[in-house]
Structure 1
Amino acid sequence: MEPKVNYVLVGLFVVVLSAVLLGIVLWLGKGEYGTVYDRYYAFMQESVAGLSVNSPVKYRGVEVGYVADIRLNPENPEEVRLTLDITRGTPIKEDTVAVLHVQGLTGFAIVDLTGGTRDSPPLTAKPGQAYAVIKTGPSLLARLDSAVSRLLEDQSLSRLLANLTTLAQDARGVIDQENRAALKQILSDLATVSRTLAARSGRVDQGLTGAAQTAEHLAKLSRTLNEQIPALLERVNRSAASLQAMTEELARTGKAIGALVNETKPNVEQFSRQTLPETSLLIAELRQLTATLQRVARQIEREPNALVFGRSLQPKGPGE
């Protein structure tokens, strides 16, 4: 028995499903179809390998459009003309620069827009141009290629490589059998010194400890000196001030003595002319008197009774 099929329901289901699919497609494409683009030209003087139609155009990392066309410049075959569709409202200024940027190791390239300062005027098409032309700059690979080319063309690099080659040859000549043996002996001596130091690590530690203590004592001494030096300097300053005052006082005293000498100079001269001779006579007489008194004293010591009875007469000798 064959089942009965309601073709009306089947047809209705297909129509509804198709309408849903169409609505989903329209909803997904609503944003893209509703976007308005402005067209620009960009002329590249380097290879655009890896760049294709519909490749994204990014402004500071934000996707703002796509590459609409890639072809050689009809007016200059050394350039590649890129047609860029960029979302209207993107701040494309006169100082905006388009740079080819290769992403990763895949070789897939995009157009990256940089620049566009706030004070720069918007970019517009000049007379005779179909679309406004965005300035272009060399990509990273182009800059590296140019730098390497200049480096290879520079003769100094060749001289440097020749010098390095000569240096390597000289090094091989220097490190001969004898020098290698000497180097081996030096390494052996260093190993011996290392073992000796390891065996005497205790003494080394003690030495380091002593050095640390010495440094600490020096630091304490330095702190003590720093504390005492200001007081010592103050004492020295006071002593210097006292010495200066004493010097000034001595100077004043010397001046006073000089003035006194000048005042008494006439009296001293008169004393020297008159009084000194008389004083000399007086001293001579005093000397004579002293000699006489000494004789008298000796006589009294020999004959004490002579002071009362007078001097005794000397007995006369025979025949007197």
Structure 2
Amino acid sequence: MVRKKDYFKLGLYIILGTGMLLAVVVILGAGRYFQTTFPLETYFDESVNGLSVGSPVKLRGVQVGRVAEINFVSNIYHDAKSPQSRYVYVRCEVNPDLFKEMTDDEFVEHVAREAKRGMRIRPTSLGLTGQLFLNTIYQDPKTNPPLPIDWTPEYAYIPSVPSTLSRVEEAVTTISKTLSSLRQEDLQSIIKDVKSIVGTIDDFMKTEGGREAGNRVLDILQSTRSILGRTDRLLADPAAETLIPHTASILSNVDRITSESADNIIKAAAETRAAIASFKQASQVLSKTLTDPRMDKAMAEIAPSLENISRASSDLAAAVTKVHTLINRLNGMAASQEANVRSIIEDTREVMQNVKELTDDAKRYPSGVIFGTPPSKPHPEGN
């Protein structure tokens, strides 16, 4: 007989088992719903058979995210035009840990810059299984333009390029259409022309000129073989292993410097162009001025003036020489009469001293200066 405690234990085991199962599901798979990711979208104008939600997104072989949604553009952007509504819409989730803690806006700007430089997404097969993943590559943006769209993408947008299989199918289809457009008469005419060309070449090779041309071709092939042998030996040198990476690094630095200085280079080129135009204009004005008949007349009138200036310069030089000679003579005379001049100066100083003393006496004893010696001082106590 089952007791009530047994029912309680059974229910407790069921609850604990269900909780552990839910915890395992959350840890193994549902945890990604709580992760922060960068959304990324792209569009394809071809079949994406083999691509599914959860397929990896790789950048040069490194997985950077996963496919989160596959839909049609018409279901996401309702204002899409009829040809563009047939695009396949693919939204991806990118791991933010690989982008050095960028914000959402910085990630969008980074993807836009890289897309301008040629970043594209191509569906790539994993092998013979038929499964696809999205491979992020760099292509020439001129030969691989983005698909035409007339809406603003909601998330960061990377244009797509057709898959390799799609390109092969397109090439085979083009060749098939070209071959099917050829008629039987055209094929017979082409075969006839080919036979005629082959016969002409065979007849030419049997002549002396043909044999000489063949020998020259053999010499060229021998020289090419020798050059290829030298190139192979150079590439086999261990120094080439370091030279090639260094060259690639130098070219990368040159490309970076060029891209960073593009605005300055364009501005310098514009200024150089303007300077050349100004110089050309000045040259034209100068040439026009020199060819003007009035310039010849002015030069003829200037010539006599220049001759007069030259003669005046000669006369001025002679006058300067005479003045220099006179100054030398005056210096000589001053040097020879230096003692007399010094004596005259001493006598003059003594005369001036005497005049000063006479003036002082005149101030103190005016009558003595006029009438002679001053009167004797009276002595009252002697009376």
User: Is TM-score (shorter-chain normalized) higher than 0.5?
Assistant: no
TM score, norm. by length of structure 2: 0.34
User: Normalising to structure 1: TM-score of the pair?
Assistant: 0.39
Structure number with bigger Rg: 1
Which structure is higher in helix share? Answer: 2
Which structure is higher in strand share? 1
